[in-house]
Amino acid sequence: MKYTPSGDHWENRLVQRLCFSLDLKEDPKLIAQYRKWHEPGGPPPAVTQSLRDAGIQSLEIYLCGNRLFMVMEADDAFSMENKMRSDATNEAVLAWERLMWNFQQPLPWARDGEKWLPAERIYDLASQPRDA
C-alpha cells in the first residue's frame, strides 16, 4: 500500500512501481535535444494523455551519462501488454516513438527490437530490519 496524491488529498492506493533502462546515442548535441523534448510541454499532449489513460500515475526519467532510467508508478489495474497494444494503434504515440528513436539506442544486451528494458529490484530499504 502506498499513499498517493488524489486531487487535494492523499489516499491509500495499491501502486505498481516499474523501472526500465535505455541508452541514448553518445552525442552531446543529441542528448541536449532529447532533454529539451522532455521539458514541460515537450511531449505531445496525446502522448501524455495515453500514459494517464493507461493508469500510469507517475513517470520520471533520469539521465546518467547517456544511460536513461525510467521509474513509473501505475495503478493496480495497469497492464504493460494493454499499454503496448493501445500504443500500436495510437498515431501520436507511434510518431513520438519514431522521433525518440533518433536519440535512443538499445542497451548492449537488448534483443532486436527491444527498447526500454525492465530493471530488476535487488534492494529495498523497507524490507531491511531496523536496529533495536
Task: Report the CATH number at residue 84.
Answer: 3.30.70.100
The pLDDT of residue 11 is 56
Does residue 68 fall inside a structural domain? yes
The pLDDT of residue 32 is 98
The pLDDT of residue 13 is 60
Q: By residue range, what is the domain housing residue 25?
A: 13-105
- pLDDT less than 50: residues of the chain: 1-4, 8-10
Q: Phi/psi at 17 (nearest 5 deg)?
A: -110, 125
Does residue 1 fall inside a structural domain? no
Does residue 69 fall inside a structural domain? yes
22 vs 68: CA distance, rounded Å: 5
